[in-house]
Amino acid sequence: MVPIPVKGFLVFATLVVIVALILIFIVGPRHGQTNILVYITICSVIGALSVSCVKGLGITIKGLFAGEHVFRHPLSWILIVSLITCVSTQINYLNKALDIFNTSLVTPIYYVFFTTSVLSCSAILFKEWQHMGTDDIIGTFSGFLTIIVGIFLLHAFKDVNLTLANLHVSVRKDERAAANGVASHSTYEMFENEITNQTQDGSFDLHSDNVSRRNGTVAVL
């Protein structure tokens, strides 16, 4: 009777193989050149199986050094063939992704996808989450959240050419704009005061002219 964890891993491995085949033969030829997630997803899901094969081979080598006849079991050869196939596929599609897309985008996205796949596979096969404390689980998810936020910022500002020199120039421009704003406000106040004074002088001159005209009229009379 196959143990429950192995049953779960077999279901997980079957789903991974099906998803990888769909991405390789259907989605990849259509959208692999334009969508960065296609090739990275192939590398990530296949990478989960490769890590599991490495762990299995590690146990096999340990048994070999202990004097056991491990290579008589078909599972050892299945692990070796599976590891070679998974690693070759993983390297192939990772190189394709690096050739097409920017390395600064491929690397963090691949890290998140690959680590998530490996942790999921390990949780199903070895039940590693049962031996982790609450603090470790919170720290793990916090690290994932930080990386996801970093990936979002890379996507959001990938077309922005921002350097320290440009930042210094931008700060100087802001300072000049602020200074010009203060100067313009002061000039506007001076101009407004001048207009007010001229208006008052004009009113005073007009009043004086009216008084003069009245005086002249009285003199004529």
Averaged pLDDT, 60-77:
85
Q: pLDDT (tens digit, 9 = 90+) per residue, 138-187? A: 888 888 788 778 777 776 676 667 666 666 665 566 556 555 554 455 55
Q: pLDDT (tens digit, 9 = 90+) per residue, 11-38? A: 888 999 999 999 999 999 999 999 989 9
Three-state secondary-structure class, residue 147: helix
Averaged pLDDT, 83-103:
92
Q: What Å distances lie between residue 2 and 50, 106, 124, 200, CA to CA?
A: 22, 39, 14, 103
Q: pLDDT (tens digit, 9 = 90+) per residue, 124-136? A: 887 777 777 888 8
Q: Which residue has the tokens 């997980």?
A: 12
pTM over the 0.85 mark? no
What was the pLDDT predicted at 138? 87
Q: pLDDT (tens digit, 9 = 90+) per residue, 177-212? A: 555 554 455 555 554 565 565 555 554 444 444 444
What was the pLDDT predicted at 176? 61
Q: Please, where are the H alpha helices in the chain?
A: 4-22, 28-31, 36-65, 74-100, 103-125, 134-156, 164-220
Burial class (CB within 10 angstroms; exposed 0-12, middle 13-18, buried 19+) of 37: middle
Spans of all domains in the chain: 4-160, 165-221
